[in-house]
Amino acid sequence: MSKLILLRHGQSQWNLENRFTGWVDVDLTPQGEIEAIDAGRKISAAGIHLDQAFTSVLKRAIRTLELCLRAAGQEGIPVEYDQALNERHYGDLQGLNKSETAEKFGADQVKIWRRSYAVRPPNGESLKDNAARTLPYFESHIIAVLKTGKNVLISAHGNSLRAIVMQLDNLTEEQVIELNIPNGVPIVYDVNGQGEPINKYEL
């Protein structure tokens, strides 16, 4: 039995400002740092020993991972960084305020851009596109490690983690519309020797 922990980065500066972030490399806010530290303390309190971590190449996820591991007392474990775990690219929406964008295009259209599976924002990625780069990496690199019985932490982003949860929880394209991954909350899966989830809970 191994454990997979999914952790969305702590609040970023553009989360605070309610902007579409995507691949823009913004940092954590002080609140985001607190969320990352709290996540590490929860992992430590749960008695979970981590063997390896994976993260994107964006600083908000990397910084979250660093603060989390330090708070958990588990610095020094192997860490793999890969663009496959990056947030989805929001194209022309990157940098725009979400509320102002909803006023301009309509709340329903913005929800479709943000939450639907296959609809791309202008010049950006859909969740389907995001999944197409995240899930092969997840299968070949992360599931492979879990099958060896190791405990793994992924520090990543709302949409790359939505793609992973969609697969692990067998969600439909309709169900994933309502799926939101909260900032800084460790989501734990107990995984069997075949790399299949058998239990899920939050810390």
Q: Mind telling me the catalytic residues?
A: 9, 87
CA atoms within 13 A on the CB side of 192: 6
Are 64 and 155 spatial neighbours (Cβ–Cβ below 8 Å)? yes
CA dist 97 and 203 (Å) reads: 31
Q: 37, 12 in Cβ contact below 8 A?
A: no
